Amino acid sequence: MRRALLLAVLATGCAMEPRRPLRPATQVPLAPSVRFEVTELLNLFERELVRTGSEFVSAPLSLSPFYALLVSWNVDLEPSAGFEVELRVGTSGAEGVAWSPWLFVGCWGELPTEGLGERCVRFDGGRIATDEFVGERWFDRAQVRLLARDAITPRRVSLCFSGGWGVCMNTGLFGVREVSLPVPARSQHLEDPELAARICSPTSLAMVLAYHGIDVPVAELAALAYDPLHDLYGNWPRSIQAAYSLGLCGYLARYSSIRDVLAQLEAGRPVILSIAFGAGELTGAPMASTSGHLLVVVGATQAGDLVVNDPAAPTLEEVHRVYDRDELERAWLDHGGVAYVLGE
């Protein structure tokens, strides 16, 4: 039974929820070799969040024009505590800032179940698409708040916002040097067959945690990161908070080039990438195609290709593999360029 299910999963790909296109429909598709999204990362620390009663609120943030925004957080809390994260976006004008309503991004910990269906997740200019804000027009203001139940301490709230277009030079392989990080292998297909196809994110997290000396069973990590509101194991900000609750800080980033990943590798940090690809688009992958999958980049070869730990491999011996740099970069950037950066 387990083998039959495994073969079916490998044939059809990872069964994660398909990710939404990042850009509005009027934008041209992203071609990594020609154009890239301009992205910026902003980290707000505890001292920059104003507490009023049970709320922690950032100042209104003046940002470069953007149409997409990722929020992630590292929050300390007691077992009985919980919190919700909300975001609002705005556009500045002659009469001040026109703000959206507060939009529900996510939650963590112990919270009452009443009122779950009343959270605002959309307005006429954009929406929260599961775990990220996707706009239908440009914005240049943002504000974040945490609504707490019992005592919490927000250590860091990160915003990664994506905006205009720029020309990407063809940098070739210049400057790429060989690197290999000893990240332990984990395979999602060695877990409960009922969940195996859905847990590439917690399996990838387990590998990076083990690399940093935090050895947690994949099943335990999957239960911790599980998003009951969307029935997902791969909710991006919940994954970051799950790692932080086990002792590893981090944030979500949206990069414009694989060179950003190589810089993290050279600093000793493996990076988890969110990818998608069609048939024949990623040579040597353990599945024919996928609408959403996560894996760990652990190194680069002298030729410039990327060394990964792919949790979709059927055995531990097959997790460690090499992918063509251009193919993996396209599978990643065409899917939004999202990365989990842990240990920083």
State how far the Cα of 28 lies from the Cα of 24, in Å rounded to an integer.
Answer: 9
pLDDT tens profile 180-218: 999 999 999 999 999 999 999 999 999 999 999 999 999
Q: Is 213 left (phi over 0), alpha (psi -120 to 50) or beta?
A: left
Say if residues 337 and 254 touch (Cβ distance below 8 Å): yes
**15-to-21, 198, 254, 257 alpha-carbon distances in Å:** 17, 6, 23, 26
Instruction: Please report which helix (H) or strand (E) contains residue 321, including its range.
Output: strand 320-323
Say if residues 225 and 202 touch (Cβ distance below 8 Å): yes
Bridge partners of 109, per DSSP, are 82
Fold classified for 35-167: Jelly Rolls (2.60.120)
**86-to-56, 73, 210, 324 alpha-carbon distances in Å:** 10, 12, 31, 39
Alpha helices in 166-232 (DSSP H): 200-211, 218-225
Q: What is the pLDDT of residue 37?
A: 63
pLDDT tens profile 270-322: 999 999 999 999 999 999 999 999 999 999 999 999 999 999 999 999 999 99
State how far the Cα of 134 lies from the Cα of 18, in Å rounded to an integer.
Answer: 15
Above 70 in pLDDT, residue 176? Answer: no
Q: Does residue 344 or residue 64 have the better pLDDT? A: 64
CATH code for the domain defined by 2-17+172-342:
3.90.70.10
- Check for a shared fold between 2-17+172-342 and 35-167: no
User: What is the CA angle 153-146-142, rounded to 5?
Assistant: 125
Q: What is the pLDDT of residue 222?
A: 98
For the record, the structure tokens of 270 come out as 């493996």
Mean pLDDT of 228-245: 96
Above 90 in pLDDT, residue 90? Answer: yes
Q: Does residue 33 or residue 92 have the better pLDDT? A: 92
Say if residues 295 and 310 touch (Cβ distance below 8 Å): yes
Say if residues 284 and 323 touch (Cβ distance below 8 Å): yes
pLDDT tens profile 17-42: 334 444 443 343 333 333 346 789 99
With a threshold of 0.85, does the pTM exceed it?
A: yes
Q: What is the pLDDT of residue 13?
A: 39
Tell me how crowded residue 94 is: count the other CB atoms within 10 A of its CB.
4
| Residue pointed to by tokens 């992205």 | 39
Above 80 in pLDDT, residue 14? Answer: no
Mean pLDDT of 159-171: 62
Residue extents of the structural domains in the chain: 2-17+172-342, 35-167
Average pLDDT over the chain reads: 87
